[in-house]
Amino acid sequence: MKALKYLVIGLAVIAIPVFGIAQAPDYAQFKTNDEENNIEIFKLASPSVVHITNSRLVRSFYSLNPQEVPQGTGTGFVWNADGYIVTNFHVVQQANRVTVTLQDGSSYDAEPVGSDPDKDLAVLRIDAPGVELIPVNLGDSALLEVGRKVIAIGNPFGLDTTMTVGVVSALGREIDSVSRRTIQDVIQTDAAINPGNSGGPLLNSLGQLVGVNTAIYSPSGASSGIGIAIPVNTVKRIVPELITYGRVQTPILGISRIPQPDYYRELWGIEGVIVLDVVAGTDPERLGMRGIRRAQRGQIQLGDVIVEINGQPIANEDDYATVIEQHQPGDIVKVRTLRDNCLLEYDIELQAPISR
Q: Which of 115, 169, 198, 223 is catalytic?
A: 198
pLDDT tens series, the chain, 356 aa: 444 444 444 444 444 444 445 555 555 565 678 899 999 999 999 999 999 998 765 554 555 445 444 567 899 999 999 999 999 999 998 888 899 999 999 999 999 999 999 999 999 999 998 788 999 999 999 999 999 999 999 988 878 889 999 999 999 998 888 888 888 899 999 998 888 889 999 999 999 999 999 976 656 555 567 899 999 999 999 999 999 999 998 899 999 988 888 888 888 888 999 999 999 999 999 999 999 988 777 788 889 999 999 999 999 998 999 899 889 899 999 999 999 989 999 999 999 887 65
Active site residue 116: no
SS3 assignment for the chain: CCEEEEEEECCEEEEEEECCCCCCCCHHHHCCHHHHHHHHHHHHHHHHEEEEEEEEEEECCCCCCEEEEEEEEEEEEECCCCCEEEECHHHHCCCCEEEEECCCCCEEECEEEEEEHHHCEEEEECCCCCCCCCCCCECCHHHCCCCCEEEEEECHHHCCCEEEEEEEEEEEEEEECCCCCEEEEEEEECCCCCCCCCCCEEECCCCCEEEEEEEECCCCCCCCCCEEEEEHHHHHHHHHHHHHHCCCCCCECCEEECCCHHHHHHHHCCCCEEEEEECCCCHHHHCCCCCCEECCCCCEECCCEEEEECCEECCCHHHHHHHHCCCCCCCEEEEEEEECCEEEEEEEECECCCCC
State how far the Cα of 342 lies from the Cα of 330, in Å rounded to an integer. Answer: 28
Q: Which of 46, 51, 90, 169 is catalytic?
A: 90
Active site residue 63: no
Q: Which of 116, 118, 120, 190 is catalytic?
A: 120
Q: Tell me which residue of 288, 267, 279 sits closest to 337, measured CA to CA.
A: 288
State how far the Cα of 326 lies from the Cα of 322, in Å rounded to an integer. Answer: 7
83: left (phi over 0), alpha (psi -120 to 50) or beta: left
Question: Length of the chain in residues, anyone?
Answer: 356
Q: What pLDDT is recorded for position 15?
A: 47
State how far the Cα of 344 lies from the Cα of 339, in Å rounded to an integer. Answer: 7
> Is the whole model's pTM more than 0.75, yes or no?
yes
Domain 255-349 sits in CATH 3.40.710.10: no
Q: What contacts 24+ positions apart, CB below 8 Å, involve 24-27?
A: none
Active site residue 90: yes
Beta-carbon count within 10 A of 126 CB? 24
State how far the Cα of 11 lies from the Cα of 13, in Å rounded to an integer. Answer: 7
Q: Where are the domains of the chain?
A: 46-125, 141-245, 255-349
In this structure, is the dihedral angle defined by the CA atoms of residues 267, 273, 274 and 276, taken in order, positive or negative?
positive
Burial class of residue 293 (count of CB atoms within 10 Å of its CB; 0-12, 13-18, 19+)? exposed
* Beta strand pairing call for 107-109 and 97-101: antiparallel
Domain 141-245 sits in CATH 2.40.10.10: yes
Beta-carbon count within 10 A of 47 CB? 19
Domain 46-125 and domain 255-349 have a common topology: no
Instruction: Please state the CATH superfamily assignment of the domain spanning residues 46-125 in this structure.
Output: Trypsin-like serine proteases (2.40.10.10)
In this structure, is the dihedral angle defined by the CA atoms of residues 157, 161, 164 and 168, taken in order, positive or negative?
positive
315: left (phi over 0), alpha (psi -120 to 50) or beta: alpha
